[in-house]
A and B are shown apart, each in its own frame.
Chain A
Amino acid sequence: MPQTAEHLWLHRFAVLTALATLLLIGIGGLVTSHGAGMAVPDWPNSYGYNMFTFPVSMWVGGILYEHSHRLAGSVVGFMTLVLALWMNGRPAAKWLRWGSVVVLALGLVASTSAKVKLDNVLFLVGTGVAGFGISFVWPRHEAVSPRLARFGLLALVLVIVQGVLGGLRVTALADWLGIFHGTLAQCFLVLMCAIALVTSDWWARLKAESPPVAVPAKVRRFLLITTLLILGQLALGASMRHQHAGLAVPDFPLAHGKVWPATDTISLETYNRSRNDHREFKPITARQIHLHMAHRIGALVVFGHVLGCLLKLRRTMGAAHPVAKAAGVWFGLICVQFGLGIWTVLSNKAADIATLHVLVGAASLVTGALLTLLTAAWSGHSCPLPACGQERPPHAPGAGL
C-alpha cells in the first residue's frame, strides 16, 4: 500500500480505534468483575432514557460501570464506522447515504408511536440527517485496497453484531450470550490491531524487504495453533465470568484443599455453606468447578505452547531477530497473565486484578495473532535465499538456541 499522508492518518486512526477497543474490553471487564452486567435492565435505553441523555446523576453503583461500557461501546462503534468508510472510500458514500435514510425513516416511524420517547426520535432523526448530509462530502477518495476495504466492512459488521449481542444479553437475561459477547470482543480487537498493523508504513516496508531467514511452515503453524489456544482460553475465561465460576475454586495451588476437587453433592453443600462473601454468588456447582479447573489446565497448556514458540523462533530466526524478541515479549505477557490468574483467586477476585487479567489476556492474544500474521506475510515472499522455507542449518548463527 502506498504511504501517502492520508494513509498515515488512516493508520493513526486505526491505532486509536484499536486502543479504544482495548479500553472498552477493560471497562467490560470491570462490569463483570463488579457483578454489574444487569444493573441497567433495559436496552438500548437506559432506565427509559436514550443512553446519550441518561442523566449523569443516575450513574451510581453498578450503573456507572454498565452505562460507561455502553457509551464506550458506542464510541468504538462510531470509530469503526468511520474507519470502514475511510478504508472503503468513494463507494462507501452510497452506503452511508442509504444507511442514513434508513435511520431517518426509523426516526420518523418512531415519532408516530406513543411508546417511543422524544429523545430517541430526535436522536434517530438527527443521526439520519447528519449521515445523509456527510455522505455528499465524505468519503470521496479511492479505497485503500480492495482486500483491506473488505476487512473494514467486516469490522463494521462485527461491531454491530457485538453491540446487539451485548444488548440481547441484558434483555434476554442470557448468560450464554455474554460468553459470545466476551469472546467476540477479543476477536474484534485482533481484527482492529491487524488493520492498524497492515495500514502502517512499517508493514509496507516489511513487505517490500525479504526476511533474513524464512520462518518454517511448521513454526508458523505452531504460532497459529498457540494463538487459537489463547483464544480458546479466553473463551473459557469468558464462560467463567458469565457463569460466575471465578471463585468456584477459591484456593491455589490446591483446589478445595485437593489436587482435584471433589464435586459430589455433600462436598458442594460444604463449599457453599462455608462461603461467607457479601457478594453472595450463585451456589457453586460441579459444572462451575470443572470449568474453573479446565481454565487452570488451559493456562498450563498455553504457557507451554508460548514457551515452545519462543524457543522455536529463537532457534530458527536467531535470538536477535525482532520476531524472536517479540516472542520474548509474548512469553513475558503470558507469565504476567499466569501470575494475574493466581492473584485473582488469592485476592478473592478483586475487581481491579480480575480486570487486569482480562486486559493482559487480550494483549497476549493480539501479540500471538500479529506474530502469526507477520510470519505468514513473510512466507508469501519470493525469497532469494536458499534457506527460505527450511529450518536453519545447525551451524547457522542463532541456531540451537
Chain B
Amino acid sequence: MKSLILTLTAVAIVAGSASAGDVTGKITLKGTPAPEKEIPVDPTCGKLQAGKKVMTRFYVSDATGGLADCVVYLEGAKGGAASDKAVVIDQKGCEYLPYINSAQTGQPIRVLNSDPLMHNVHPTPAVDGNKEDNKAQMAGGKPLDFAFTKAEKFLRFKCDVHPWMFAYVSVFDHGFHAVTGKDGSFKITGVPDGKYKLVVEHRKGGKVEKEIEVKGSAKADFTIEAK
C-alpha cells in the first residue's frame, strides 16, 4: 500500500512538472513620463530618510527602461499556487515598501512597522465585499494582517497620519500573477499548458495584453508608453 502511494505521488509530480511552467518576460517603458515630484514629508519622517528626498513613485524604471511596479496576470485563469504565505508590506522611513503588490483572495497581507513612530494602516477597497479597515500600529507594534475576499485591482492602503504614504495591492481570485521587479522583469510560476491572455497593468501607464500559449513555459515582453 505504502509503495503504491509513493508511486502515485511520483507520477503526479512528474505529470505536474511536465504540464506546468513559468511565464516570464520584461516590461519596458517607452517615452518620458512627467518628472516625479518631491513629497513634502514632515521633519520626523525626513530624519528617517537621512537627507534623501522622498519622491513620488509613479514611474520607476531602470537604466535599460525596465519598468517596475507593473502587475502582470493571466486574465480569467483559475487555480494556481496556494496562498498561505503572507504578502509582506513594510513601513520604513514613512514609506510603504513595496509600493505595488499582488495577492490572492483570502491571502494574508501582513503590514509591518519598522519605523520608530506610529502609523495607521487604512486599506480603502472599492469593490463590494472587500472590507475597509483602519488600524493603529505603534512603533515596534505587532504586524497587522489583512485579507480580502473579492478580486480588486490596485486596492489602496494609506496612512492618514502621514498622508503621502500609499501602497497598492492587486487581489486576484487565482494564483497566476506577479509584480515586475526593478528591472521590469516578471515571472509567473506553475502555469499549466494552454492558451491564455496575459495582461500587464501599470497604475499610470495603463493596460496592455497579449495572447500567449504555454507549452512547458512561455516568454512575453511588453512595452508601456508613458502617459
Chain A residues in the interface with B (C-beta under 8 A): 34-42, 47-48, 58, 60-63, 66, 170, 173, 269-270, 273-274, 276, 278-280, 282-283
Q: Which residue of A lies closest to B120 (CB)?
A: A41
CB pair A63–B163 under 8 Å, yes or no, is no
Q: B206 contacts which chain A residues (CB < 8 A)?
A: 269, 273
With contact pairs A60-B42, A63-B161, A279-B164 given, residues A38 and B134 touching in the complex (Cβ less than 8 Å): yes
Q: A280 contacts which chain B residues (CB < 8 A)?
A: 156, 158, 164, 166
Q: How far is the CB of B145 from chain A (nearest CB, A)?
A: 16
Q: B135 contacts which chain A residues (CB < 8 A)?
A: 41
Q: A283 contacts which chain B residues (CB < 8 A)?
A: 126
From B118, B161, B204, contact of A273 by CB (8 A): B204
- Among B143-186, those with CB < 8 Å from A are 156, 158, 160-164, 166
- Bound together, the chains give a CA A42 to CA B160 distance in angstroms of 13
A–B complex contacts, Cβ < 8 Å, 30 sampled: A36-B161, A36-B163, A37-B160, A40-B136, A41-B135, A47-B118, A47-B136, A58-B118, A60-B161, A61-B161, A61-B162, A66-B160, A170-B134, A173-B132, A173-B133, A173-B134, A269-B206, A270-B227, A273-B204, A273-B205, A273-B227, A274-B227, A276-B204, A278-B37, A278-B39, A278-B56, A278-B164, A280-B158, A280-B166, A282-B126
**Chain B residues with a Cβ closer than 8 Å to the other chain, count:** 33
CB pair B160–A36 under 8 Å, yes or no, is yes
CB pair B134–A34 under 8 Å, yes or no, is no
Chain B residues in the interface with A (C-beta under 8 A): 34, 37, 39-40, 42, 44, 56, 58, 117-118, 120, 122, 124, 126, 132-136, 138, 156, 158, 160-164, 166, 203-206, 227
CB pair A282–B160 under 8 Å, yes or no, is no
Residue of B37, B56, B163, B164 with highest tally of chain A CB at under 10 A: B163
With contact pairs A273-B227, A276-B56 given, residues A60 and B124 touching in the complex (Cβ less than 8 Å): no
Q: A273 contacts which chain B residues (CB < 8 A)?
A: 203-206, 227
Q: B34 contacts which chain A residues (CB < 8 A)?
A: 276
Other 14 A-B pairs with CB < 8 A, given A40-B136, A47-B136, A280-B164: A36-B160, A40-B120, A41-B136, A42-B136, A60-B161, A61-B42, A62-B162, A62-B163, A173-B133, A273-B204, A273-B227, A276-B34, A276-B37, A279-B164
- Bound together, the chains give a CA A99 to CA B227 distance in angstroms of 62
Q: Report the 9 A-B pairs with minimum CB-CB distance, sorted nearest first.
A: A39-B160, A61-B161, A41-B134, A38-B160, A35-B163, A278-B39, A280-B166, A173-B132, A62-B160
